[in-house]
Structure 1
Amino acid sequence: MALKQHLLDTGFSNSLADASLFIRSSGRHITYVLVYVDDIIVTGSDSATVAAVLCAFAYRFSIKDPVDLHYFLGIEVTRSKRGMHLMQRITDLLHKKNMLEAKPVSTPLPTTPKLTLASGFPLQDASQYRSVVGSLQYLSFTRPDISYAVNRLSHFMHQPTHEHWQAAKRVLRYLAGTPTHSIYLHASSPLSLHCFSTSLVNLQGFSGADWAGDTDEYVSTNGYVIYMGHNPISWSSKKQNGVARSSTEAEYRAVANTSAEFRWLCSLYSELKVDIPAPPVIYCANVGATYLCANPVFHSRMKHIALDYHFFRNQSQSNKLRVSHVSTHDQLADTFTKSLRVSAGVFQDWRR
């Protein structure tokens, strides 16, 4: 609270989209302060203004000498003129579980058989399983490729079995074979085809759903990955609420959940003083869901869907976002809804 009050007193405003973010705009210069407990990132468009903010911190609080960003909340940051590399070390986790020399595998989870609540016999001590899955949840901050696997393994935290533990160790084997996979954010990423200003961005997202993929409850899994230019900035793999009666309904719900993330990102960019010149695009591989997004007349078999899933239709009609069809071959969100082999092209987008 003392830190927050200090920032407010020195001209910063607290972001409505993210309570840990503080923004100060003065003329052509803008400064950002991101706070997580006692770890603080200060950056901005003018180095002299940033230095003044740091001096004010030092005068009011006892702080360590400021250094360039290279490590934050377990994420290693390597910067260059070409961009920023975000990486989390997995050596400690693999060493702790005696998996450093494990034989690598090509996918985090096998395509068959699917894990269920009744798979295998219960573990006598579930603490090790829960510890590994908790570590994997944190690791997925820079490893989108394991998001689906982590989501599946998290469903069995209350009563994991021997097969669940074997699946968790498979993810560790996958990580052992891909220790350098991470996120690379390009400084020169293409932003808009019609404008070359650095304050303009082009948002696009891929949305998908694995219809009735959970054989225990027959619910579908949402998956999306959102890009700013070529840079992935948000991704998710999560079970839907309730059972979808068709693949079109499952994909439609997935698009609705993705559009909610888009609206939050648009609000955040607005506070960051970043203009979005064109409506964000959501790419969906389901033709029926794509048509349903654009057609204001509800199909009789869709009228049972909860109203909150229709809110993004107004966003589309008011030109705040756009839903576009994409072929299944090019649907990146499938990585977040199924146990698929991640293509080299997808990783090239994530890493390069």
Structure 2
Amino acid sequence: VLKLVRNLYGQKQAGRVWNQYLVKRLTEKVGFKQSKVDECVFYRGRVMYVLYTDDSLLAGPTKEEVDAVVRDIKAAKLDITEEGDIKDFLGVNIKRDEEQGTVTFTQPHLVDKILAATGLFHENAKTKETPAASSRILHRHSNSEAFDESFNFRSVIGMLNYLEKGSRSDIAYATHQCARFVDSPKREHGSAVRWLARYLKGTRDKGMIYKPDKTKGLEVYVDADFAGNWNKDEAVEDRDTARSRHGYVIKYNDCPILWRSALQGEIALSSTESEYTGLSYALRDAIPLMNLLKEMLEHGFQMEHRTPKVWCKVFEDNSGALEMAKVHKYRPRTKHLNVKLHHFRSYVESKEITLHAIASEDQQADYLTKPVNEDILVRLRKRVMGW
């Protein structure tokens, strides 16, 4: 039996040991203060350091301040490689347009890998105008033929997931629907992945376009599709057909910073309950972001919003869910929601979170909950992604 005296690559605790070492160096030798909200965020004066495993970003108001931090990091015997102005991070291409005031995020190389994996990289491959067929819902298709293994289904789903999280909220619903059946894909699931790849082929160079609107703060758009996957023929064998799906987009300065499309873990008993569940889950992500923005204010970072206090607007198109969120009273039909979903009510009472009704046609999260036709997709994609 041998005793290790230092960290060894490949151990299950190696990543944790490395992180502890790095944090200690940054805080004790370089002078950073670790965020209390997010352990991967650090502050030193007007400079912010963001860590992702062993990749990182430094941001500051002047080049001189950033260069001074880099020198101190090197002096602390941390091996750091300077890449200059950010143009690519974690496989996401980042392009600034000073004249238009925009920042564009794209992942064309990952799209090419998906097309190559699905056999659609050639010039003659046809494209699609939507990520999925709007006229039908993808189910388990238990009685259909097995997928023909013409491509590595699991690998392609992994690439689609990374693409969706990085810059393509427009494929979130279609990607998650296909990913549900990765354990036993059928012919229909393979066809759905190819449909999605054809859509990506036609939009290869597209992504997320940020054009900040300084009049807008933190905003959340939440929507839910009550039991939209219901299929009476498969309900006995697949209880997931009874689950509702929610989706939400969290924006700051009108720029999407987080989005999600997911089946709800619990089976909702009404459309109001499914909408309220989506609202609760969305605010689980929004509240930590609110706290991070508050912390940045405390550290002297200027928020691009006319109101210095951090607050959050939530847009919901279901009147029942709005009533439950605003009027905090005991309801026999919803008492089972008490422990799990009412966590955000204190923020509503203090008015740090305000809830607003919104017309269904203006609900920007709509395309995260169901397959939509081309007209709706184009309208919402322009509102959320900028193209």
TM-score normalised to structure 1 length: 0.90
Once the two structures are superposed, residues 125-170 of structure 1 have per-residue CA deviations (whole angstroms, 9 ceiling, x without a partner) of 4971111111000001200000111111111111111111110111
Deviation (angstroms), 1:229: 2.0
Q: Deviations along 1:193-225, whole A, 9 cap, x unmatched?
A: xxxxxxxx6111110111112334211111000
Does 2:137 correspond to 1:114?
A: yes
2:70 is aligned to: 54
What's the CA shift for 1:317? 1.2
* In structure 2, C-alpha distance between the alignment counterparts of 1:54 and 1:63, rounded to whole Å: 8
- In structure 2, the partner of 1:196 is none
2:115 alignment partner, one of 73, 78, 94:
94
Aligned-residue offset at 1:61 = 3.1
What residue in structure 1 maps to residue 61 of structure 2?
Answer: 45
Q: Which residue is 1:84 aligned to?
A: 103
Which residue in 2 is equivalent to 1:181? 206
Alignment match, 1:155: 180
2:156 to 123, 132, 146: 132
Q: Does the 8 A contact of 1:211 with 1:247 survive in 2?
A: yes
> Relative to 1, partners in 2 of residues 1:291 and 1:147: Cα closer, same or farther, differing over 3 Å?
same
Equivalents in 2 of 1:96, 1:127: separation in Å? 6
1:302 has 2:334 as partner: yes
Aligned position for 1:23: 43
Alignment match, 1:344: 378
Contact kept, 8 Å, 1:202 with 1:277, in 2: the verdict is: no
Distance, in Å, in 2 between the alignment partners of 1:105 and 1:33 is 41
8 A Cα contact 1:206 1:284, kept in partner:
yes
Q: Compared with structure 1, are the counterparts of its residues 69 and 300 closer, same or farther at alpha carbon in structure 2 (3 Å cutoff)?
A: same
Amino acid paired to 1:351: G
Residue type of the alignment partner of 1:22: F
Cα distance in structure 2, aligned partners of 1:182 and 1:261: 22
Q: How many residues align?
A: 338
Larger radius of gyration: 2
Q: What's the offset of the Cα at 1:178?
A: 1.4
Equivalent residue for 1:225, pick from 229, 249, 252: 249
For structure 1, list consecutive stretches of 5 or more residues without a partner in the other structure: 193-200
Q: 1:129 to 1:96 in 2, by over 3 A?
A: closer
1:8 maps to 2:27: yes
Change over 3 Å in CA distance of 1:55–1:148 after alignment to 2: same
Whole-angstrom CA distance in 2 between matches of 1:127 and 1:92: 12
**1:60-79 CA deviation, whole Å, 9 max, x = no partner?**
23333441111111001112
Moved more, 318-327 or 54-63: 54-63
Partner amino acid for 1:2? Answer: Y
Q: Extract unaligned runs of 5+ from structure 2.
A: 1-19, 231-237
> Letter of the aligned partner of 2:118 in structure 1?
K
Partner of 2:90: 73
**Could you report, residue by residue, the CA deviation over 1:240-291 in whole angstroms, capped at 9, with x for unpaired residues?**
1111000000001111111111101111212322555363111111111111
Given that 1:225 and 1:235 are in contact with CA atoms closer than 8 Å, whether structure 2 keeps it comes out as yes
Question: Could you tell me the percent identity over the aligned residues?
Answer: 28
- Any conservation in 1 of the 2:148–2:187 contact (CA below 8 Å)? no
The alignment status of 1:315 with 2:331, answered yes or no, reads no
1:329 is matched with 361
- The match for 1:214 among 219, 223, 229 is 229
State the match for 2:9 in structure 1. none
Taking the aligned partners of 2:57 and 2:310, their CA distance within structure 1 comes to 30
Cα distance 1:124–1:96, how it changes in 2: closer, same or farther (>3 A)? closer
Residue 111 of structure 1 and its aligned partner are, at CA, apart by 2.4
Matched residues in 2 for 1:271 and 1:241: separation?
A: 32
Candidates 273, 283, 288, aligned match of 2:320: 288
Indicate conservation of the 8 Å contact 2:367/2:380, yes or no.
Answer: no
1:172 aligns with 2:197: yes
Give me the TM-score of the superposition, normalised by structure 2. 0.82
SS in 2 for 1:226: strand
Larger mean CA deviation between 252-261 and 275-284 belongs to 275-284
For residues 167 and 114 of structure 1, the distance between their equivalents in structure 2, rounded to whole angstroms, comes to: 10
| In the alignment, structure 1 residue 272 sits paired with structure 2 residue 288 | no
1:79 & 1:190 partners in 2: Cα distance? 16
Q: Secondary structure at the match of 1:262?
A: helix
Secondary structure in structure 2 of the residue aligned to 1:303: helix
2:16 corresponds to: none
1:33 has 2:52 as partner = no
Q: Is the contact between residue 47 and residue 65 of structure 2 (CA under 8 Å) also seen in structure 1?
A: yes
